[in-house]
Structure 1
Amino acid sequence: MLRSTDRIQTTHAGSLPRTRELIEANRAREEGAAPAGFTDLLRDQVRALVARQLELGLTVVGDGEYGKSMSSPIDYGAWWSYSFQRTAGLELDENQAWATEKVLSSPGDVRLTGFLHRRDRQRFAEAYADPDSGIMLGKPKAFPAVTGPIRYTGQDAIAQDVANLAAALEATGAPEGFITSVSPGSASRITNRYYDTDEELLYAWADVLREEYRAVIDAGLLLQIDDPCIAENYDQIEPAPSVEDYVAFTRLRVDALNHALRGLPEDRIRFHLCWGSWHGPHTTDIEMKDIVSTMLRVNAGAYTFEAGNVRHEHEWRVWDEVELPEGKIIAPGVVSHATNVVEHPELVADRIERFASRVGRENVIASTDCGLGGRIHPQIAYAKLEALAQGAQIATRRLWR
C-alpha cells in the first residue's frame, strides 16, 4: 500500500460517474437485452477512467465501480446491490425497498428500520417529501430477501472486474489500484427468512464475501471494504439507542467482517466508513468520537471516512485524543459528495494538514468523503478530484518544506 513518504498520496472512495454509454448498456442488460460487445465496452471504459484519474493527479486509482451495474445517473445503492447478483439463496421481494423494518437480536431486541424510516427523515419529513428540496434519493428499488442458504456465485463477475483494472494499471502505468467490496454487515441489511439469528446471517455473508475479498487480493490489487452500516445504522434504530448499546450492536458486524478477512494481509486492505451518501440533513448521525475505536478494530491497513462535509468536518479533532495504531493509514475525505460547490485547493490543503499534524504526514492519504458516481454531476465530480490533487500538492509543499 502506497504511503505518503515524500508527498501526500491521493485517492478516492470508489464510485465515479458512469458514462452515458455505460449507463445505457447497463439499462439494456437489466431489461434482459445485453448489448453486443459489452465486455469490451466495460474493459475500455475502465482503462479510460484510470487514465483520467492519473491525468487529474490521483496516485491510487480505482475502477470507479464500473463493474457494479448503474442504470441511471443517480444511484445511491449500486455499491451494495451488486452483491445480490453475485449471491445464491436470495429471491426478489417486490414489497422491499431498501431494508424494511426488522428486529435484530443483538444487543437485546434492537429494531433496525429501513431507509425510509430514518430518524433524520422523520425530523425533516416535509423536506424529504418535497421533490424540489434537493434531497436526492433516486427511485426506490425492489430488494431481495434471504430465502435459503447463501453462497457466492460471482466468480466470473469479480474475475472480470479484477482483469479490467489490472489491464488498465498495466496500460497506464498507474502505481496502485483498488476494487471495492461490500461488508457482511452492510450486505445483510435485507429481510431474512432463512437464518435463525442475526449472528448466523452475518457470518453466512462473511463466508460468501470472503471469496470476493480473496479474489481481489490474490490479483495483487488493494481491497476496499465498503461498510457504511457501522455508522449509518444508528439513524435506523428506533428509538435512538445509547452509544454503549449501539457499539455492542455494531461490534458483531465488525467481528463478522474480521472473520471474512482472517489471514488476509492488512496492508492490502482499506476500510471505508460513511454516514450514507444521500443529500439529507444528517442531524441524527452518530458522532465520529463514539465509533472511531470500533472502526479501528477492523483488521485493515487504512481507514477512509467522511471529513469534508459540513456535518463531520469538525471531527478532525478526534485525532487529538485517539492514537492511530502503529503502521496504519487514514484517508480522510477532503472533498465532499454532498455539495455541488467545488472545494478550493487551499481549503483541501488545510484539511490535509489538520490530519497530518496529528497522525503524521506519512500516515495520511487525501481522499473523497464518499463515492462521487451517482451523487453529483460528472463535470463537478471530476473538478472535485482535480481540486483534491491540487490541494495535495499544496499540502506537500507545506509539509515537506
Structure 2
Amino acid sequence: MESSLIRILPACLTQPLPAGWDTSNAEFVIEVMPEVEQPHAVVLALPTTEPDILLLDADFPGADVFEIAAQALGVRQNLAVVLVSADNSPENLRRAMLAGAEEYLIKPLEAAALRESILNIAGHRTLRVVQRGAEDTASHEASNGLVVGVVSGKGGLGKSTLAVNMAAVVAGATGKTAGLIALESGDGSVLLNLQPKLGLFDLAGNDDRREEGGYAVDWMRQFATTHKGGVSYWQWSGSASQHPEGIPEDFMTALFDTCRRAQSVTFVDFPILTAEEAGTVLPLLDVVLVVTSSSDLLAMRSTKTFLDWVPEELAPRVRVVINRSDPSDMISREDFEATLETKIAAVLPNEPAVASQAINMGSPFVLTQPNSEIAATVKQLAQVLFRLPVTEESNKPRKRFMLF
C-alpha cells in the first residue's frame, strides 16, 4: 500500500512536544527529524534535511523566529511553517501571517491538535510516496538508516564505551537493528568480548564486489562479527585478515551507504581526527556525537577546536554529550555551553565501577546493569535521538539526567 511521507523539522523548541503528536496513519507516514536547536542554524539545515514542514517555537529567547520563518520560506520552495507559542496576542498572530506561516498554535499544545494541523497541511501538498506493509516498511527503514559518528577532541573520555552501549540499546529496541564500526582500535571487540576473524581490510580488498550504492548487504555482513545482544561489529582487521595493497578513496562513502541499507543505526567509533580528516568524513555522517568532559579543561578546549572545524551547514547534525559528569566537576554546564557556543545534548553520570565491571564481563552495561543510573541515561539518550520505543522504566524521572 502506498502512503505519503511527511518530513517534519522541529526547531528552537523551548519545551518538549506532546507525546503521540507524530503518530502515522494509513494515508501519511510522519517522519520527525532531529531538532535544530540554534536559530542561526535553521535556514542552513534546510538543504540537507529537506523538510516538508518546519515546526518553529516562536518563544525561543533572543531570536526573531518570525523573521527566521520568512527566510526559510524564501529558501525552500513548497515548505510549510507551523509556529507554536504561548503568546496569543493579535500582534504575534499578525506577524505569523506576514511571515507566511500556515498555522499559529497556542501552548500548551495538545497532541491531537498538533497532529491534526500537520495532517491538514499535508492533505493540500504533493509529498513523497512510500510503500507500506510489513516487508516494505522494513525495507524503507533499512534504506534510510542512520550513520552516527562518535568522536571526541581528545582520548580517554569514554567515547568507545558510549558507542558500544548506544549500539546495544538500539539493537535491543523492537523493530530496530544496529551496527558498530570501530575505526580507532580493537577496543570495541574487548568491550563486546568478540574475536573477529575478518574485518574492513578484507572488504576493501574485494572492490570488485562493489555495486551501485556500495556493497551487497549480505556480502558486507560476512565481514562482521555479531554480539549476542544483536549488534553487528566491524573493525579494520581480524585474526585472519589479509591487508590490501591500498584502500579505495571512496571506500568510506561506499561503506556508509551500505550501512544505511543494512541497519537502522550504525555507530562509527572514530579515532581522534585532524581538521583535514574531519572535513572529509563529517559530510558522510547523518549524526555526529561529540563526547567531552566537564572535569577537564583540555577536553573542553579540544571539543571547542573540533566544533570550530564543523562546517556551518553541518552544525544541525552535531550533538555534544558530556560524559562521566560528577558534582565535583570544575566546569558547570552553563559555562560549558557558553564556551562552546552550543547547547549540550546530554549529561551522563560518572559511574566508574559500573563501566569497569561491564568491561570485565565483556558486555555493555546497558545489558549487564540495566538499572544503573548511567545505563538509564544512555537508554534515554538513544530513545530521543533515534525515536526508539519508550519503556516504562525509561519514563521514570532521573534527577541528574539532562537532555537537550
TM-score, normalisation: structure 1: 0.31
Q: Which structure is higher in RCO with an 8 Å CA cutoff and minimum separation 6? A: 1
Larger radius of gyration between Structure 1 and Structure 2? 2
Return the structure number with greater helix share: 1
Return the structure number with greater strand share: 2
TM-score, normalisation: structure 2: 0.31
